[in-house]
Structure formats: structure tokens, C-alpha cells
């Protein structure tokens, strides 16, 4: 049984993922590429984080979130490999966009 607190957190994270995805779309439509990539990555990060919390899998960093998603959901076949690859690529693109300004 999922605790009320965990259920509320998961709901909050999925809602954050949805809102952040919508922000990414608006930013991309207006040519703000670095910001759009950042928001797109965080949208997926929030959704994956919610999934991990829902399954009582703890992480402490973005890298561990990515690796735990791969370990528990991609390698087990619960999610197609393309989603693990997408998460990794967005992670890399966000790093480059935030720290190297390669898209604007």
C-alpha cells in the first residue's frame, strides 16, 4: 500500500512534469532552445523521479536517477530501450545547453 505522503509527492511530481513539458514547448516555439532543452529534460526527470518514488527506489542525484531508471525499468523490459536512450540524451543536451550554450 502506498503511503498518503508518497502518493501526494508522486502526484506533485507528475503534475510538475506535465507543466514543465508545456513550458518546454512554448520555449521551443519561440526559439529559446537552451531553455527548451532544459525544461524538456526536467519534465522527464520529474516523471522518472515520480516513477522511482512510487516504486520505493531512492536516488540522490540526477546521475543516480538516470541509472536507477535504466536498471529497474529499461533493463527489465518494463520500458523500451529508446526511453532510456532519450533520458540519457536529454541529460547530455541539458548539460551542454546549460553550461556550453550550444543551442542559442
Q: Where are the domains of the chain?
A: 4-100
Average pLDDT score over the chain: 93
Give the right CATH number for 4-100 from 3.10.580.10, 3.40.190.10, 1.10.357.10, 1.20.120.330. 1.20.120.330
Q: What is the mean pLDDT of residues 44-72?
A: 96
pLDDT band at 95 (very low <50, low <70, confident <90, very high): confident
Q: What is the mean pLDDT of residues 20-44?
A: 96
- Say how many C-beta atoms besides its own lie within 10 A of residue 76's C-beta: 9
Taking the model in full, what pTM does it have?
A: 0.90
For residues 26 and 57, give the distance between their C-alpha atoms in angstroms, rounded to a whole number.
Answer: 32
pLDDT band at 103 (very low <50, low <70, confident <90, very high): low
pLDDT at position 65, please? Answer: 97
Amino acid at each position: 500500500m502506498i503511503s498518503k505522503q508518497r502518493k501526494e509527492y508522486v502526484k506533485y511530481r507528475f503534475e510538475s512534469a506535465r507543466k514543465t513539458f508545456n513550458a518546454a514547448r512554448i520555449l521551443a516555439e519561440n526559439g529559446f532552445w537552451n531553455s527548451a532543452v532544459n525544461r524538456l529534460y526536467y519534465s522527464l526527470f520529474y516523471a522518472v523521479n515520480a516513477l522511482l518514488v512510487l516504486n520505493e527506489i531512492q536516488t540522490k542525484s540526477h546521475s543516480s536517477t538516470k541509472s536507477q531508471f535504466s536498471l529497474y525499468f529499461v533493463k527489465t523490459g518494463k520500458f523500451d530501450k529508446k526511453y532510456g536512450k532519450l533520458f540519457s540524451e536529454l541529460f547530455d543536451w541539458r548539460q551542454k545547453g546549460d553550461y556550453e550554450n550550444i543551442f542559442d
